[in-house]
């Protein structure tokens, strides 16, 4: 799903890339708010709500952002009613009660005004950054929207001090700009693909599957720190901004090469990436960037990573013998572990995915 679809573009942005960029921006705004002004903001709520809100965008994909803003200005109640229908459609789908209850709580029963403001500010900043390169080539087409977004960002900056700090600090903007390079870094880049997926989009899928794993496991008596799992999911591929997507067979080609690459990642991140942020934030990020799959929580996030790769391979397997083999190998990895969340992923998500994939062939 391509954003800004009724505008001329030199850069395409997919909806999933927008979701990932919004999560990263919101988390950075949370850091600025929490450390500079000693707020305590609910990061788990913010990540979940950004993802849950995005479901409506896929259902209402034929209404572009500009039209949505105008509808909201002219009749906010009608706007809410239309989006309410989209959420109802999603909640009517079959799912475990633990997921349904959490979706409803986050979407309808929350009292997190400050967090919602952070989410809105992050969305607006990402929209502005998406439009910026295209507006420089097609200024007449983007002029009105750029003026509106600049005005709204200026107004939001007076309410969200983390946004004001971001808007005035070029180093912070460069940090997020490098993060957004994940949107143009493609997965499986050494193979011919009909449906390329970016590293950013992949990360969002990993976050959502990690959430499902944690919620179902906790409903069976587990004690997973869901926020820690989601942070590992959203940050785990950020080093690829600098190093590129080096595939597993290459990493394992020579004994010790994978260990050397870990050192290379750390060195290159220090040299080309961490210079834009404070040492404190660097120290906070390093475990999520360099060792996301360590420990029991890390293993579960790795399962989410493998399941996401499996879905990606399955999409391509209809047209590629190579991807057909990868799909089979990844499925074997998934099926080695038997527990409630693996059963749910295979029974519910995969069954629906296969049904829709097969239908699309005819």
Query: Is 0.85 topped by the overall pTM?
Result: yes
Highest mean pLDDT among 62-66, 246-250, 303-307, 355-359: 303-307
3 within a domain of the structure (yes/no): no
Residue 194 lies in a domain: no
pLDDT one-digit tens code per residue, 226-236? 999 999 999 99
Number of domains observed in the structure of the chain: 2
Q: Does one domain contain both 210 and 290?
A: yes
191-205: pLDDT as tens digits: 888 888 999 999 999
Q: Band of the pLDDT at 359, cuts 50, 70, 90?
A: very low
The lowest-confidence range among 41-45, 142-146, 280-284, 341-345 is: 341-345
Examine the domain organization and report whether 237 and 133 are in the same domain: no
- Residue 354 counted as domain residue: yes
> In whole angstroms, how large is the CA radius of gyration of the chain?
21
Lowest mean pLDDT among 2-11, 156-165, 181-190, 246-255: 246-255
Residue 191 in domain: no
Nearby residues of 297 by Cβ (< 8 Å), 6 or more positions away: 224, 225, 228, 229, 232
CB 142 within 8 A of CB 135: yes
Query: Do 177 and 268 share a structural domain?
Result: no
Lowest-pLDDT choice from 85-94, 95-104, 160-169, 275-284: 85-94
In this structure, are 172 and 208 located in the same domain?
A: no
CATH number at residue 102: 1.10.3210.10
Residue 63 covered by a domain: yes
- Does 101 lie in the same domain as 208? no
Q: Domain range holding 335?
A: 199-359
pLDDT band at 356 (very low <50, low <70, confident <90, very high): low
Residue 334 CA to residue 154 CA, distance in Å, equals: 48
Claim to verify: residue 94 and residue 163 sit in the same structural domain: yes
Per the domain annotation, does 257 fall within a domain?
A: yes
42 and 142 together in one domain: yes
Shared domain for 151 and 29, answered yes or no, is yes
Residues 209 and 138 placed together within one structural domain of the fold:
no
The pLDDT-based confidence of 242 (bands split at 50, 70, 90) is confident
Residues 349 and 230 in one domain: yes
Q: Is residue 355 part of a domain?
A: yes
The residue from 132, 156, 183 where one domain ends is 183
Residue 193 lies in a domain: no
For residues 99 and 215, membership in a common domain is answered with no
pLDDT digits (tens, 9 = 90+) for 114-125: 999 999 999 999
H helix intervals, the chain: 15-36, 43-59, 65-74, 76-91, 97-108, 113-137, 139-157, 161-168, 170-179, 199-219, 226-235, 240-243, 248-251, 257-272, 279-290, 295-317, 321-335, 340-344, 351-359
How remote is the C-alpha of 96 from its chain's centroid?
A: 23
Domain boundary among 128, 158, 183: 183
Residues 131 and 250 in one domain: no
pLDDT in tens, 277-306: 999 999 999 999 989 999 999 999 999 999
């Amino acid at each position: 799903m391509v954003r800004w679809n009724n505008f001329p573009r030199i850069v395409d942005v997919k909806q999933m890339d927008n979701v990932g960029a919004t999560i990263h921006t919101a988390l950075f705004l949370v850091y600025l708010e929490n450390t500079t002004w000693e707020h305590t903001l609910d990061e788990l709520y913010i990540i979940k709500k950004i993802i849950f809100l995005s479901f409506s965008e896929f259902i209402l994909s034929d209404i572009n952002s500009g039209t949505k803003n105008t509808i909201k200005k002219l009749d906010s109640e009608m706007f809410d009613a239309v989006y309410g229908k989209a959420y109802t459609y999603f909640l009517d789908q079959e799912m475990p009660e633990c997921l349904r209850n959490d979706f409803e709580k986050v979407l309808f029963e929350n009292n997190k005004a400050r967090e919602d403001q952070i989410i809105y500010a992050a969305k607006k900043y990402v929209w502005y950054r998406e439009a910026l390169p295209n507006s420089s080539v097609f200024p007449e087409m983007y002029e009105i929207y750029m003026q509106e977004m600049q005005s709204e960002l200026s107004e939001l900056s007076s309410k969200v001090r983390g946004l004001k700090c971001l808007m005035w600090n070029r180093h912070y903007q460069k940090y997020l700009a490098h993060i957004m390079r994940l949107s143009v870094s493609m997965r499986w880049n050494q193979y011919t693909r009909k449906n390329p997926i970016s590293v950013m989009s992949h990360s969002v899928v990993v976050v959502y599957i990690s959430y499902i794993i944690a919620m179902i496991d906790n409903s069976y008596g587990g004690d997973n720190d869901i926020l820690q799992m989601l942070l590992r999911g959203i940050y785990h591929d950020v080093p690829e901004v600098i190093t590129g997507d080096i595939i597993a067979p290459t990493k394992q080609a020579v004994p010790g090469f994978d260990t050397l690459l870990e050192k290379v990642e750390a060195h290159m991140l220090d040299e080309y990436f961490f210079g834009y942020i404070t040492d404190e934030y660097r120290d906070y990020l390093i475990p999520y960037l360099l060792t996301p799959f360590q420990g029991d929580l890390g293993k579960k996030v790795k399962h989410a990573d493998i399941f996401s790769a499996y879905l990606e391979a399955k999409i391509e397997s209809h047209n590629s013998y190579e991807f057909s083999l990868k799909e089979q190998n990844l499925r074997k990895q998934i099926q080695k572990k038997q527990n409630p969340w693996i059963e749910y992923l295979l029974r519910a998500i995969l069954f629906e995915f296969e049904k829709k994939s097969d239908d699309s062939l005819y």
